[in-house]
Structure 1
Amino acid sequence: MLENPRRPCPCGSGRRYKACHGSADAAEMIVARPFAGLEAETELIALREFVPSATAPLTLRDAAPDAPTVTLATVLPGAAAALTRADGSVLLGLQVQTHSGDLSRDLAAALEWALAAEPSSVLTAVGRPSTGNRWGDVVVDEPLDVTVHDDFGWWLEEAPEEGSEVALSLERANTAIMPTARVAGRPGAYWVDAGEKAHLRWVRAEDEQPLMSALARLAAADRLDLGEGSRYVGSFRAHGRLVPVWDLDREAHPSEWDGPAVAFDERLQEALAVDEPLTADQRRARDGILGRQFTLR
């Protein structure tokens, strides 16, 4: 899709396209929030940053009746950007080394490569796209139907021969997976067993300033945890969204956190609806929360 050089850049920077992603050095520009405005934004961030093995079918825009099926994946063998199977179907990888500052454009470029590639082809890395389509130009904007897997068996079209290099590579990859599960069916909310502790990481859709105020209100009221066996430990920023994190009792089954997560979300929505200035206690709570943040690019 060609952009009018005088119109605002679709990346959301506020600059004109010719001075932003239409410029000669566009590949060097960092788009802090590559999935802004998409229904699947929080899931895309979670699958990109911390879910080890998961897939989701994608619906292509303007797809021909005989278009191949396309599946989004957390990571592919060798951290490939995309691959095509023998039947022509496409797997698109999220956890790849990006080569431009716009993850959305990198993903679109990898998908377009795969749709034009021969069966059984592999794209190890995307080039440096500075123009062309972004995610929302090629994929229908809709929620993702995510399936979390216990292993990487879905990588293979058929079972590998026992003792083969493929089987050994798959075994090595499987041993690195931390048990993971979705929580309460909430987009971007995932339980993970990290060994000594379990965690809930929850990519939030709200803008950071009102979200921080709401978290501060809950913290000041001692309502920031998820109940017994949980502790709020901080948050990180990823691709323009805030990701709160809780330590959890790892002896509890992941499904046991569904109810507490739903209850927390209800408390949070109530806090978000309050538009009064923060009290002194709430401001101190907000400062404490801010002190436990870091950013992932």
Structure 2
Amino acid sequence: MASRKRSSAPAAAAPEGVNPKAPCSCGSGRRYKHCHGSGYAPSVTRPFEGLPGEPHWVALRELVPSATAPLRTADGRDVTLASVLPGGSPALVRANGEILLGVQQQTSSDDVSRDLGTALAAALEAPAGAPVDPGPIGGAGSAGPRLQELLDLEAPLEVAVRADFEFWLEGTDAGPAARAGLEQANQAVLPTELLPELGAAYWVRPTAERAHLRWVRPEREEALLDALARLRAAGEPVLLGEGTRYAGAFRAHGLVVPVWDLPADAPAADWTAPAAEFQTRLEAALAVTEPLTADERRARAGLISRQITLR
């Protein structure tokens, strides 16, 4: 995943009665002093909201090393979305006119959708084979369109997970330097597979001894945490079967991503049925609307204590 930086800004004084170390009231999960009190413009908590496949956008931004997906602009132009492009480039246009947009970029602002939209708008205007110059991204000068303004919002997002970055050089006459850079990048790709029947559920094996299932959930955070707490308080395991462990969750771009530790020797497809069974139980818990009981509130607090925020 490409590193992303922001320029510094002076911190804003907390309003009277607001604890700067308390969670920000906007629901981002960050402390006030690191969110609306940080001196930055208020962040967009869910930058991909409204786009088809919102959980997959989050996954490609934060979880998946190599993947592509076809996009279509509102005026009918074809674009290839890529998890990351060579050198962390925001976008490129091949000599044949093919446009690629990288979702993992070197810098970002508090509205990732506008950052990506700025890069895409520049790529749509760039001549074939020429470098794409989107101007400043991730700073105060980033004022281009958002993705929601540029893309066809009726076209589904169909992700193809790649085993390497060979797509970087497809249709090009790459020299030795480009091939060497590609080989170096390929060495960093972790084995990753999408479990398509489960939405944005991605299996990854970071080492020979362990594997994980990272499942970007589409539900709003409060409802999802309540449902998980109801399951745990009722004694139903928040597990995917024998040998698995619920490791916790993290929050990314407004969505919650539960993570399970899995035995590394089982192939990814073996977890589709257990995860589908868990989803059935989760959906039943999501349908409950009564206030949480005392036991459920304690279970919820335990879940939150194991949750971190990436973005």
TM (norm. structure 2) is: 0.81
Offset, 1:123: 3.4
Q: 2:198 aligns with which of 155, 161, 186?
A: 186
Q: Does 1:204 align with 2:213?
A: no
SS in 1 for 2:152: coil
**For residues 275 and 257 of structure 2, what CA distance do their matches in structure 1 show?**
14
Q: State the AA in 1 paired with 2:67.
A: A
Q: 1:262 aligns with which of 269, 276, 279?
A: 276
Q: 2:260 aligns with which of 218, 224, 246?
A: 246
Q: 1:153 aligns with which of 158, 166, 178?
A: 166
Q: Does 1:166 align with 2:178?
A: yes
Q: Does 1:144 align with 2:179?
A: no
* Paired-residue identity, %: 50
**For residues 100 and 172 of structure 2, what CA distance do their matches in structure 1 show?**
18
SS in 1 for 2:213: strand
> CA offsets per residue over residues 21-48 of structure 1, 9 Å max, x none?
xxxxx98442121112333211100000
SS in 1 for 2:117: helix
Contact 1:109/1:133 (<8 A) preserved: yes
Which consecutive residues of structure 2, in runs of 5 or more, have no partner in the other structure? 1-25, 27-38
Q: 2:45 aligns with which of 32, 36, 53?
A: 32
Q: 1:62 aligns with which of 75, 81, 86?
A: 75
Residue 19 of structure 2: aligned partner = none
Contact 2:249/2:306 (<8 A) preserved: yes
Q: State the AA in 1 paired with 2:283.
A: Q
Offset, 1:99: 3.9
Residue 290 of structure 1: aligned partner = 304
SS in 2 for 1:123: coil
Contact 2:123/2:134 (<8 A) preserved: no
Q: 1:111 aligns with which of 115, 120, 125?
A: 120
Contact 1:99/1:127 (<8 A) preserved: no
Q: 2:145 aligns with which of 125, 133, 138?
A: 133
Q: CA 1:197/1:124 → structure 2, altered by over 3 Å: closer, same or farther?
A: farther
Offset, 1:127: 1.2
| Count of residue pairs brought into register by the alignment | 268
Q: 1:42 aligns with which of 42, 48, 55?
A: 55
Which consecutive residues of structure 1, in runs of 5 or more, have no partner in the other structure? 1-12, 14-25
Q: State the AA in 2 paired with 1:188.
A: A
**For residues 166 and 90 of structure 1, what CA distance do their matches in structure 2 show?**
19
SS in 2 for 1:185: helix
**For residues 101 and 48 of structure 1, what CA distance do their matches in structure 2 show?**
14
Q: State the AA in 1 paired with 2:243.
A: G
